[in-house]
Amino acid sequence: MVVLGCGFGGVEVARTLRKETNELELVMVDRSTRFDYQPAYPELLSGKVTPEEISADLSTFAAKIGASFLHAEVQEIKFPAQTVTLGSIPAGKAQEVRYDFLVLALGAEQTFFGIPGAEEFSYTVDTMAAATETKSALDQREYTNAPNIFVIGGGLSGIEVAGELVDYLKARDAHAHIFLVEMMPRLLPGFPRETVSNYVSTFLRARGVEIMTNTAVQEVEKREITFRDGRKLPYELIIWTAGIKPSCLCEQLDLPKQKGWLNVDRYLRIAGMERVFAVGDAACFEAHGLRSGQNVEEAEAQGTRAARNILRTLRGARLRAYKPKNTIQNPRAIISLGDGKAVVYSNRFMFTTLGYRIKKFIERHYMMRFR
């Protein structure tokens, strides 16, 4: 049994399999040696968390559950032969690993939509290394002249980054103009109800964030950003949080896809394949008009169901269809806003009392499984 990718989905597959059986040989593969709690990346900017607090060693976790961990890059997957060719990191001798079942938990990557200069001149928070680099860039800036800092993308990550930037500046008694840019008419355009968007906008504006909706980036140059309406504004720092795309490995695989994402059936198997599953951000799952969102809750829930369907396959039992929990049509989330505040949103209700404490409790509780 081989799991490629050790984010939330991959870790949950491995954890569930080992909880329910000790008979499977379990191999976990990732190009990083550590698991990162990605929802906390924005708080790295304000210093509320450290990299050590929100990451854990994958080898230690694998040993804890009786699995093997390989720090390696996937070079090739031969589906008919049921083998994965891995290249060790740093570059070394390739090895071939055979699987009876394979789980693709390949995640996603930041996209810049082909906008000239966007990738070259922007910082991101999509990985631990990127968030750490962005924090270093903030620390190196001079704030005597209140420079412009642009956060591109008014979704969950962009909102949280904007809030943490305000806290970062406040803690240092520094000043900057923070702009949160969204090409759609409102923040959180993926949320069907405007209530949460309005609340977040009001909260951030009260903290000094300038919100620019209906505003799309056309080009980024070394010190100037150009928008589609012709406006040009100088900047000191750009943090890009707009959009994700399938991972490079996902793009290379000759498998059924929808807009680049891996197509899975109702049991989370790759369409047309009985022993290859996909979970998390890389998978495109849709049932009864509902499509899974690309979020932690879905990655974990899919990981659990995929693991149990693998065991049911081994036992000759009937597989159980996956039912999405946090969908594009009915999203839910806990959104940090900075200043120790967060808004909890789920379908038809929203509340703010204790929201941030709930989010931090979930974070601490999750990371305990690695300790």
Domain boundary pick from 208, 242, 276: 242
Query: What pLDDT is stored for residue 349 in this prediction?
Result: 83
Q: Do 189 and 41 fall within a single domain?
A: no
**Pick from 207, 242, 277: which residue ends a domain?**
242
Look at the block and give the residue holding tokens 């995929």: 306
Residues 102 and 21 in one domain: yes
104 lies in the same domain as 44: yes
Per the DSSP assignment, residues forming a β-bridge with 333 are: 345
Beta bridge partners of 43: none
**297 and 179 in one domain?**
no
Quote the domain boundaries for residue 291. 2-109+245-315
Same domain, 25 and 92: yes
361 part of a folded domain: no
CB burial readout 111-122, b (16+ within 10 A) else e: bbeebebbeebb
Q: Which residues of the chain have pLDDT under 50?
A: none
| pLDDT for 31 | 95
245 HSE (CA, 13 A, CB side): 9
Tokens linked to 4: 């490629």
What is the rounded distance in angstroms from the CA atom of residue 86 to the CA atom of residue 106?
14
Residue 221 lies in a domain: yes
Q: Residue 329 domain-assigned?
A: no
Same domain, 116 and 237: yes
* Whole-number pLDDT of residue 93: 81
355 within domain boundaries: no
Same domain, 220 and 267: no
User: What's the order of all strands across the beta sheet hosting 349-351?
Assistant: 332-338, 341-346, 349-351
Q: Indicate the residue among 242, 272, 306 that finishes a domain.
A: 242
In a domain, 352, yes or no: no
Distance CA 205, CA 208 (A): 5
Longest CA span, the chain: 68
What pLDDT is attached to residue 90?
81
Residue 333 near residue 187, CB atoms below 8 Å? no
Same domain, 268 and 179: no
What domain count does the chain have? 2
The answer to whether position 149 is within a domain reads yes
CATH number for 210: 3.50.50.60
